Every structure is written in C-alpha cells, then in structure tokens.
Amino acid sequence: MLKIKNLHAGIEGQQILKGINLEVKAGEIHAIMGPNGSGKSTLASVLAGREEYEVTEGEVEFLGKNILDMAPEDRAREGLFLAFQYPVEIPGVSSNNFLKTAVNQVRTYRGLEPLDAVHFLKLMKEKMAMVEIEQKLINRSLNEGFSGGEKKKNEIFQMAILEPKLSILDETDSGLDIDALRVVANGVNKLKSEDNATIVVTHYQRLLDYIVPNFVHVLYNGRIVKSGDKSLAFELEEKGYDWIKEEVDSVA
Amino acid sequence: MGKDDQILEELTSSDYKYGFETLIENDSAPKGLNEDIVRFISAKKNEPEWLLEWRLKAYRHWLTLEEPKWPNVKYPKIDFQDIIFYSAPKPNKELQSLDEVDPELLETFKKLGISLEEQKRLSGVAVDAVIDSVSVKTTFKETLGELGIIFCSLSEAVHEHPELIKKYLGSVVPMTDNYYAALNSAVFSDGSFCYIPKGSRCPMELSTYFRINASGTGQFERTLIVADEDAYVSYLEGCTAPQRDENQLHAAVVEIYAETNAEVKYSTVQNWYPGNKEGVGGIYNFVTKRGLCKGNNSKISWTQVETGSAITWKYPSCILKGDNSVGEFYSVAVTNNYQQADTGSKMIHLGKNTKSTIISKGISAGKSQNSYRGLVKVHKNATNARNFSQCDSLLMGNKCGAHTFPYIEINNSTAKVEHEATTSKIGEDQIFYCNQRGIDTENAIALIVNGFAKKVLNKLPMEFAVEAQKLLALTLEESVG
Ligand SMILES: Nc1ncnc2c1ncn2[C@@H]1O[C@H](COP(=O)(O)OP(=O)(O)OP(=O)(O)O)[C@@H](O)[C@H]1O
Ligand SMILES: [Mg+2]
C-alpha cells in the first residue's frame, strides 16, 4: 500500500528526514516511536503533502502511484488521512459543512455522485455512534475552543467519515484521558479492515495495548534505526531511548 | 434662497434657455455638469417645478463643497466635466411583460445569475430592475397594491405620489448633507421608492438590481423607503457590472424613514467591477445610506456584503431618534488586488433606551486596503443608550492592509458602549488542514471566509445568503498561493 524509499526531506536547507525506508501493507498496523524532534511529524506532513517541506531525495508510492508530485487534496482523495498532532481551529465553520464539503469533493474525485443532505446526515449519525462523539461537539465550529482531547476525538471522527485506506495518527493519544483513549482506540479498531492500514505515531506503549501493532519502528535523527514487533515498544517503555541512541551513534 | 444663490441663479438661468433647448432632443446628456444639465435631466423626466428647484438648490450647494479627503482611499481626481450625467435606453415605451424586455439584457442578467424570470417564478420577489438609470420592469406591483404598498421607480412616484415624495425626499439625507449626496440630489437619475402604510407587513422581500451599463455614464441612484407606523419591510439591493476599463463614478443615496414601531431591513450584495488585477478600471462607489428611526420602538438594520468596486466609501448609518429604537449594521467587506474600501457605520443615539449593534467583518487579499470607520455617538438626552461594536479583520497574504478607525462620542454617563476588534490571518495551517481532508484550496478559502463572515451572512435573507457565499468565494479565488 505504502512504499517509502530512501526519503530525504527538510525545510529551509535543514535536513530533517535523512533516508526513511518503510513499507506498509494492507491490513497492517505500524507504530512509529522516537524521541522528540526526531522527525515523526515531519514524516507525516511530507506524506500528506505539506508544501513547506522540500523532498530532496527518495520515492513514495501509495497504492501504486507516486504521490510526491500530487497535491495534498489529491493524496487525501486517494485515501490518505492524517490525524494531526495539533488540529487547527476553523472559526465559524461547522463540522457538518466542513465534512460535507470534504466527503463530496472526495466522491467527485472518485467519480461518485455527491451525497445529498439526507444521506450525509445518516452517515454522520452512524459514525458519531461508532466513535462515541457527542452531537454538541459536532454542532460547534470546527475545533474552535475544543479541549485537546476533544480535538483528537474529532480527528478520529473525521477519519471514520472519510474511511481512508491509510491513516496516519500523529500522537492522537497524547492529551487523552483514560476513557477517551479507550474510545479513540475502539474507534480505530472498528475502522480497521484487511483493506486498510494504519500508522500510529506515539510516545506511549499504553496505546499499543489497545491498538495492537504488527510492527514497531524507532525513528531517530531522521532515520528508522530499529524495527521490531510489539515487544520493542515494551522495551522502549522500560529502557527509554538512550540505548538506541548509543547504538546508532557508535555506528556512526 | 440666499442672496448669492439668487444672483447665481439669475446669471445661469439666462444662459440656460438657449443651451437647454438644443439639449432636450438628445437621449443622452453631453459630458459635463452645469445647470443646463440639471434642467435637462429634470425635463427629461417631466418633473414638476418644485423638484427642479430642489435639484438646482442641491447643485448650487454642491458647487460650494469640497470633495472629502478624509477616507483612507487614494484615486486620481475625478473630472466631473468628463462624465455623462444622464442617458436613457432607446425604446422608452412601457413594458407589460418580460417578453418585451431586450433579450440581450435578459441574457446579461442570466450570466450574472440574476434572471428576472427565475426571481419572479421561484422566490416571489418583486424586482424593480434599474438599467442605465431608467426602470425597465416592475413586477408584483399589483399584489403589493392590494396591501397599499407602493413600490415603484422614484420618477414614477414623483408623478403619482407627489405628496409622499415632497414629505420624505431628503428628510433623512438632506441635499446639503455631503459632497456626493449633494451631487446625487442635483442629478439623480432614478431609483426606487417604497412606502409601507400603517400596520402593513410587506409579505415579500422587495428587491432592486442595479447595473451599470453604458460606458462613461455616471450613476446616481436614489432610493427612498418609508415604513409608516407598525409597518415592516425587508428590502434587497444587489448589483453586478460587466467588465470595463475606465473608472465609473457611482454616488447613490439611500434614505430610510421608520415611524413608530416600524421595522426596515435593508440588505445589499454589492459586486461592481473592481478593476483588473493591476488595479486598472473599476467603479468608484461613494454612497450615502442613512436610516432615521423617527418613531419610538422603531428599528432599522443594514446588512451588506461588499465585494466589488475599485473604491468603496460607504457608511450606512442610523439616527436613533425615537425612544427604544434599534439600529443594526452587519457588514462583510472584501477587498482584493488593488481594491480600496473605507466603510463602516454611524450610530447616532438621540432617544432614550436606544440600542445599536455594529458587526463588521473585513477581508483583505492581494494588495488591497480595507478600512473600518465607525462612529458611535450618544447625545446628552439619550439615557441608557447601548452599543456593541465588533470589528474583525481577516488578512490573506502579506501585501494587504486592514485598518480600524472607531470613533466614540459619549455625552451621557448612563451609556454603555463596548468595542471589540480582532485581526487574524488565513493560515497556511488552516488551508492545509482542509486540503488534507480532500478539500481543494479554493473551497478551503471559501469555507474559511464564509466561516469568518457567518455572523453577517446569517442576517441576510436565505436566497441572498447563498448568492453572497458564492460571491465571497469567487472574489477571493486565486488569492492564496
Ligand atoms: N516548520 C519547521 N520549521 C523549522 N524546523 C522544523 C519545522 N518542522 C520541523 N522542524 C524541525 O524538525 C525536527 C523534527 O520535528 P518533528 O515535528 O518532525 O518531530 P517529532 O518527531 O514529531 O517530535 P515530537 O515527538 O516532539 O512531536 C525538529 O528539530 C523540528 O524543530
Ligand atoms: Mg510530532
């Protein structure tokens, strides 16, 4: 589904990603962990097509297509979804209006009829129940004045509505209370299928109790320096990153 | 009339006879402005003597005035001798149905999304279309007639309801009010008149579409709306103009008069040619709009969506004379490329317990300049006056400007006046967020801008709100990149 080869990217001449290699297949869940500032969000942004980052080398193939030259909205329409680490607020725009625009632009891209108000409302209700989000949150302006946790929940709600092929969750667990964490994880699990894949960026092993990954990768200094299975997350939880940093730095 | 005026009149009127008679055969006035032109306009419209005198008085007063310099806009000096002050379309006969309207004209309306047929069929809106200064068609007149509501062109009203026109014309915006109001009073071409009698609620949104047509023709519309005791009316004004190169002056006057317990809602969508991307051409829009809440408990609200014109200079105002009267101003002003807008409102509190609200949303893109200018004035007798003003600016890019000039004059210690102002930028972050959900940049901007302007758009009548939303998006297309 997603093939990243030797990806280098940076901003204003500063290299942040220094050769990322990663393959994600349909039906898989990958966890990416790593110290602050190692480049996790940058990787997510580059995949989503944020223009301020410059890709200097490498390839990214998504569902058989090279996406590096694609506009961010087209990547989204192809089925790539990013749950932002810091979702933005859009005052005066209702979730309803925002998501209807999104859903129908995606549908049009895929050659489908736009959803009418009735069918859209049905979709909203169904997904609201699925991710346990309150109507009153949806009625408000998009993310405006939402608490940190509410914003994260809303990201998952949007993911449920858009039914992406590949979801990248950038620290969606940060700032969630225990119950919300369970709700969000449940949502992600309900949306999981053999046809889609998920990349979860997280600092905490705890999330991986709920969303069980097939692979865990450690991103450090712009590279994936270690990959393993779920047990790697436990090891990191226990020992921190120093041992990995030492390993990497001694080789270099 | 002052002595100077008298002398001036004698001098000029001796001149005029000769010039005037050769003039009257033309359909259009020659370029320029003098008393002959004023007489020409008045004669063309078969006006009674008193109105000609009124126009001449205004003209003479105008001569004594200076063009205002205080608005935060820049433009080359206007040459009033290079403007045609009157032109009439060729066939002048009364039209009974839309079939008789010039098909080309109907075509233009369609392109602008303002099909008269559709308006008529779908929304039950009575439309009084003013094309090049002469009314082409008034619809729904009969329905309104049954309720005693008068809705017609101002020139028609001059003949058919002279007592009302005499009483109310210039009662809210005196001919001497300001430079452009005086000019308008002297040369106004036509416009709409609306009278809602006592106790009557106008059952439909009254609507006028203005369009500037013949090249080089100045437009001087004049609208007069009178709501008698316990009356209600919602009035819509909208306009669009085809592209052209030279600047065109537009100096309209709108007067609203509200008697006891009357309510008037006046909504505008203004979309005149703003000039091209380099700032060449476009309409100069210098408008005087004022409402008088004459009676107790009366209410006037102005709602405007301003996207067009090269220069806009416009301050819809309310004079809150009656006790408990209410004035409202809701505005979205968008400027792009080289557009300049200096707009806002004045709320003059004279009566007791008077209340006013000002919500102004300015959106600037390109290299444009967008200024809010507002005055809240509380007279010493206006006990318990209340005002709330909110002025928000949204910037797109780094080359545009937003300015706020709030003036407050309070002469009564019981007054409560609140002012809030914010400035924000459309963030790359917001646009990227929308992009990531599959929404392209154009639609993202439309969403963000409409969200920003929501409080104002919500005040528009439904069908207008939809139009206005499209217009906002259209105006800002390609302005972030
Ligand atoms: N827009 C930017 N401008 C300048 N530097 C940036 C920008 N974006 C990222 N960086 C830098 O790139 C490095 C990687 O940042 P990134 O946000 O990808 O880290 P992260 O792994 O997501 O960290 P965290 O765990 O704290 O979220 C950091 O040093 C950061 O300061
Ligand atoms: Mg991050």
Q: What is the pLDDT of residues B175-204, one digit of tens each?
A: 888 999 999 999 998 888 999 999 999 988
| Domain interval for residue A14 | 2-251
CB contact (8 A) between residue B451 and residue A109: no
- Top-ranked range on mean pLDDT: pick from A47-51, A232-236, B402-406, B476-480: A47-51
Query: For chain A, what is the domain count?
Result: 1
Structure tokens at A49: 């097509």
| Domain interval for residue B136 | 1-314
Taking the CA atoms of A116, A119, A123 and A128 in sequence, report the sign of the dihedral they define. positive
The pLDDT, as a whole number, for residue B215 is: 39
State the pairing for strand pair B150-153/B192-196. antiparallel
B434 has a chain A CB within 8 A of its CB: yes
Query: Full-prediction pTM beyond 0.90?
Result: no
CB contact (8 A) between residue B436 and residue A141: no
The pLDDT, as a whole number, for residue A58 is: 96
- Rounded to the nearest angstrom, the distance between the alpha carbon of A225 and the centre of ligand 2 is 17
CA distance B473 to chain A (A): 14
CB contact (8 A) between residue A92 and residue B455: yes
The answer to whether residue B428 sits within a structural domain is no
Please name the residue of chain A whose CA is at the shortest distance from the CA of residue B439: A102
Structure tokens at A79: 């089925």
State the pairing for strand pair B282-293/B134-138. unpaired
A102 has a chain B CB within 8 A of its CB: yes
The answer to whether residue B104 sits within a structural domain is yes
The pLDDT, as a whole number, for residue B477 is: 67
Burial B155-187 (b: 16+ CB within 10 A, else e): bbbbeebeebbeebbbebbebebbbbbbbbbbb
A90 has a chain B CB within 8 A of its CB: yes
A72 has a chain B CB within 8 A of its CB: yes
Report whether residue A38 contacts ligand 1, using a CB cutoff of 6 Å.
yes
CB contact (8 A) between residue B452 and residue A84: no
**CATH code, A228:** 3.40.50.300
Report whether residue A11 contacts ligand 1, using a CB cutoff of 6 Å.
yes
CA distance A240 to chain B (A): 32
State the pairing for strand pair A215-220/A223-228. antiparallel
Calculate mean pLDDT across residues A98-116: 95
What ligand is nearest to the CA atom of residue A50?
A: 1
Structure tokens at B408: 């407050």
Calculate mean pLDDT across residues B447-468: 84
The pLDDT, as a whole number, for residue B400 is: 86
User: For residue B138, how many other CB atoms are within 10 A of its CB?
Assistant: 18
For residue B311, give the nearest of B348, B289, B279 by alpha carbon.
B279
Q: Are the CB atoms for B455 and B424 separated by under 8 Å?
A: no
CB contact (8 A) between residue A84 and residue B434: no
Taking the CA atoms of B43, B46, B52 and B58 in sequence, report the sign of the dihedral they define. negative
The pLDDT, as a whole number, for residue B399 is: 84
A215 has a chain B CB within 8 A of its CB: no
B91 compared with B352, residue with greater pLDDT: B352
The answer to whether residue B4 sits within a structural domain is yes
The pLDDT, as a whole number, for residue B136 is: 36
Q: Report ipTM (2 d.p.).
A: 0.96
Q: What are residue A39's phi and psi, to 5 degrees?
A: 120, 15
**What is the residue with the minimal CA distance to atom 29 of ligand 1?**
A37
The pLDDT, as a whole number, for residue B22 is: 46
The answer to whether residue B220 sits within a structural domain is yes
Query: For chain B, what is the domain count?
Result: 1
Structure tokens at A76: 């989204």
Q: Does position B4 have pLDDT exceeding 60, yes or no?
A: no
**What is the residue with the minimal CA distance to atom 8 of ligand 1?**
A42
